[in-house]
Structure formats: structure tokens, C-alpha cells
Amino acid sequence: MLTFLAALGGTEIMIILGLIILFFGATKIPDLARALGRAKGEFEAGTRDKPKPDTPVEDAERERVLKAARELGIPTEGRSLSDVKADVRAKLS
């Protein structure tokens, strides 16, 4: 892939950029670049096994589960949320 890019001259790059502008339009190029940047960032975060930030809904669910576990006397320290959820369900059944 890099050898292909290295073989491109200035004229070929200008033609490719011109085609991109014709295809997407000048106003859509910043949106396209932004979307590609976000996709690249998400891909890199996924390859590093870095957990992505929780959404407010996930935070609220976690707090609800942990509160129920505390009220039922279920230990939560050092345990995954799915394990705690399973224990809460079992205790409530």
C-alpha cells in the first residue's frame, strides 16, 4: 500500500483530490474528514483494549444495580457488574 502511495506524483494527487471534491462537494469534505477522524480514534481505542467511556444510561444502571446489591447485602467489591446483577436477580427470585 505504501509503495502505491509513494509512486503517486503531484499531478495524480491533484486529480484524486479533484475527484473527491466533485464526488462529495466542497461543503461535505470537512464532515467526511471529521467522521474519518472519529472512526480512526474509536478503532485505535478498541485495539488498545481501552474501555470506552460509559454513557449516562450505563452509569445510572450501574448505580441502580450497586444500590440494590448493598440493600440486599450482596458484596460488590472486586466483582464485575454482570456477576453482581446475577446475584441480585437470584436473591430477588
> How far is Cα 55 from Cα 72, in angstroms, rounded to an integer?
26
Whether 5 has a pLDDT exceeding 80, the answer reads: no
> How far is Cα 9 from Cα 62, in angstroms, rounded to an integer?
55
Note the pLDDT of residue 71: 93
> How far is Cα 81 from Cα 62, in angstroms, rounded to an integer?
7
Residue with cell 441480585: 88
Domain boundary assignment for the chain: 2-47, 56-92
pLDDT classification of 33: cutoffs 50, 70, 90: confident
Residue-wise pLDDT for 46-74, tens only, equals: 777 555 566 777 888 889 999 999 999 99
Percentage of residues in the chain having pLDDT higher than 70:
87
